[in-house]
């Protein structure tokens, strides 16, 4: 076999030229494209990693916000419950105060009404007693009744304190009359009898002035400058009425 070195050299040169042409016009653009694609892929991966990290950060923020919202909700619920309890206690306290005030007002009103009713009853009883006393007086002998009250008045004079008795007996010295009040005017005979009994009890002559006042119902009253001796049914009824109202 005979080798044609010139042909082999030409073919080698052609191959080298073809390899240069392929490397310059084909492989280099292809490599550039591949490198560019690799860079794009790396950028996409990097962007994806960045987006995933950003998404993870946002998710963490969301979880944190959710936890904060839950804590705030719990705090608000606890605050609302505490406020509700306080308001309940305040309302209960106000209610009990109002109930106590109503009870006090009711008790006061009842006591006032009872006192008014008792006063009306006492006043009515007093009026009835006056009517009854006046009717009884009509059945009693005038002279006997006068003696009873005169005797009782003289006993009261005897039990007066020394100062009060001295004041009445010294009335002439100070030119002051001593009033003798009876329910009805006295006759001359009755007047002399009363005067004699009183002067005997006081042991002195007295400047007596006789007056009549139907309001005392029955009996008599002696009124000096500062001393009053009451011995009448009106005085007794007034005293009983005061005791009943006390």
| Per-domain boundaries in the chain | 79-139, 141-245
- Cβ neighbourhood burial of 215 (10 Å; 0-12, 13-18, 19+): exposed
Fold of domain 141-245: Dihydrodipicolinate Reductase; domain 2 (3.30.360)
Which residue has 């904060």 as its token pair?
A: 68
- Whole-number Cα distances in Å, 64 to 56, 68, 73, 78, 240: 12, 6, 14, 21, 90
Task: Output the pLDDT for position 136.
Answer: 63
Rounded to an integer, what distance in angstroms lies between the CA atom of residue 117 and that of residue 123?
10
Yes or no: say if 219 and 232 are a contact pair by the CB < 8 Å rule.
yes
Q: What is the pLDDT along the chain (246 residues), one digit of tens a residue?
A: 566 667 767 777 776 777 777 666 666 666 667 677 777 767 766 776 777 777 677 777 767 767 777 777 777 777 777 777 888 788 778 878 888 787 787 777 777 777 666 666 666 665 666 666 666 666 667 888 888 889 999 998 888 888 888 877 776 655 678 899 998 899 999 999 999 999 898 888 888 899 999 888 888 999 888 888 888 888 888 887 777 766
Task: Output the pLDDT for position 14.
Answer: 74
């Amino acid at each position: 076999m005979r080798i044609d070195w010139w042909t082999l050299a030409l073919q080698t040169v052609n191959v080298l030229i073809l390899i240069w042409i392929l490397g310059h016009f084909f492989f280099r653009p292809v490599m550039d494209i591949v490198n560019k694609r690799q860079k794009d892929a790396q950028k996409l991966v990097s962007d994806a990693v960045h987006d995933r990290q950003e998404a993870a950060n946002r998710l963490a923020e969301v979880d944190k916000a959710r936890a904060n919202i839950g804590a705030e909700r719990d705090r608000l619920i606890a605050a609302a419950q505490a406020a509700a309890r306080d308001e309940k206690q305040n309302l209960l306290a106000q209610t009990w105060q109002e109930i106590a005030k109503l009870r006090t007002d009711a008790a006061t009103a009842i006591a006032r009404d009872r006192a008014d009713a008792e006063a009306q009853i006492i006043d009515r009883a007093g009026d009835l007693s006056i009517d009854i006393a006046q009717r009884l007086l009509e059945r009693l002998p005038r002279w006997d009744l006068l003696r009873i009250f005169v005797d009782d008045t003289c006993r009261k004079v005897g039990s007066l304190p020394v100062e009060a008795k001295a004041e009445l007996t010294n009335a002439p010295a100070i030119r002051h009359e001593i009033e003798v009040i009876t329910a009805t005017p006295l006759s001359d005979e009755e007047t002399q009898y009363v005067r004699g009994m009183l002067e005997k009890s006081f042991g002195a002559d007295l400047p007596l002035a006789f007056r009549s006042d139907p309001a005392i119902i029955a009996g008599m009253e002696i009124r000096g400058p500062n001393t009053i001796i009451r011995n009448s049914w009106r005085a007794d009824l007034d005293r009983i009425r005061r005791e009943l109202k006390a």
